[in-house]
Amino acid sequence: MKKDAQGGSIISQLLDITQVKWFSRWLMIGFICQSVLIGGGYATGRELVEFFMMNGLKQGLYGMAVSTVCFALVGILTFDYARKFRLYNYRSFFQSLFPGATWLVFEVGYIFLVVLVGGILSSAAGTILQQWFGVSYWVGVSVLLVGTSLLLFAGGKVISTILSYWSFFLYAVMFIFLYSTVRHFGMDGVFGSLTRDHGVAANSNWIMGGIKYTLYNMVSFVLVLYALKDTIKTRRDAVINGIVASILMMIPAVVEYLAMAPTYPSVLQESVPVFGILKNDLGGGVLLSAYVLMLFGTSIETITGFVHGLNERINSVYQEKGREMSHRMRGVVGFVILIVCFICAKAGLVALIARGYSIMAWYFLVVMVLPLATVGLMRLRGKELPSVSENIEEAKIHVEP
């Protein structure tokens, strides 16, 4: 009986890796951050071209190092502040940083970001399956809507587990992609290209490129607050998780960047660089299908992360009334939000928001990084600020049970 129990425990841990202590303590948060990041961070490769490769092939890697350091700093500060004051959703988190109702300046930007990401990815989902698998456009959109709604219905625990497991698949596909390019172009074609003169003028914008990339994507840290309660207990935990998360978020980006390196500088003109390499240089086949499947799954992951953050904010209002947001309501709210995002995309609103996307990087610098680096850091050092001191008491703990 004892052996059966032990066997059952092992199987249970295999089925839910978040039960494994070392994984849940040191890796889970990072994998969830990476899952939320990839949809808008580097799924198609174009993002890496815009922020890094445009500055020069070698300089792009320097920029990615800058992003990794910036992610680590923001992650450490976010996690430690949330731990210290037990703030597990973005509403309570920013209420503690801003006086009165001014915290809503973050929520306005966040809602715009949800509409932008949700609209782009929901529309792209239909196109992905239609273009590569010959499936109806509406089937792709429907699968994404239903899949995301089911994850939201299942709740935070299941979301953490699914996002963690899918990250393993993503890592496998990325490394196989790099291995395939090395086989096709040779070691010199991949790594030698980093030091070769390509006749393209490099510039020093790689520092700003790395910083801007972080600013675009640092909201990922706020979206994992719900998972911190049972994971980060001490400042040491916050520091280690912040560093590990930044590394896990950027490893797939670096791998993908290296896989695209042999096609530099022609890759700079590609609208979807990864697909061009997979189809034209590597011959498509199973790897292309696996990448498309991975991309579709990560679209669901990214949207789920954004909408779950909004659900947790809504749930905080329920909790103030002594109630909890039901799982059914979470799924319904998510489904409705995605429908709205899809309609906005079709109506051209997403394209309008996207044109001001660069402004959002500086917007989140003002409404997230600066408050954290000033008010947040001072509070962590034990200094009370009269304008926001009462807010920290009013910001109750809002965590999904």
Q: What is the DSSP string of 205-231?
A: THHHHHHHHHHHHTHHHHTTGGGSTTT
- Whether the CB-CB separation of 48 and 209 falls below 8 Å is answered with no
For residue 40, tell me if it sits in a domain: yes
| The pLDDT of residue 177 is above 90 | yes
How do residues 60-84 score in pLDDT, each as one tens digit?
Answer: 999 999 999 999 999 999 999 999 9
Q: What is d(CA 328, CA 155) in angstroms, rounded to the nearest whole number?
A: 10
For residue 6, tell me if it sits in a domain: no
CB-based contacts of 309: which residues, under 8 Å, 6+ apart?
Answer: 89, 90, 110, 222, 223, 225, 226
pLDDT-derived band at 388, boundaries 50, 70, 90: low
- Whether the CB-CB separation of 240 and 79 falls below 8 Å is answered with no
The pair of structure tokens assigned to 388 is: 């926001």
For residue 283, tell me if it sits in a domain: yes
H or E element at residue 397: none
Q: What is d(CA 371, CA 366) in angstroms, rounded to the nearest whole number?
A: 7
Backbone angles phi and psi of 369, in degrees to 5: -70, -50
| The pLDDT of residue 8 is above 50 | no
Total domains present in the chain: 1
pLDDT-derived band at 276, boundaries 50, 70, 90: confident
Per the prediction, the chain carries an average pLDDT of 84
Range of the domain at 73: 29-117+161-196+208-302+360-383
For residue 353, tell me if it sits in a domain: no
For residue 52, tell me if it sits in a domain: yes
For residue 347, tell me if it sits in a domain: no
For residue 47, tell me if it sits in a domain: yes
pLDDT-derived band at 86, boundaries 50, 70, 90: very high
pLDDT-derived band at 42, boundaries 50, 70, 90: confident
For residue 234, tell me if it sits in a domain: yes
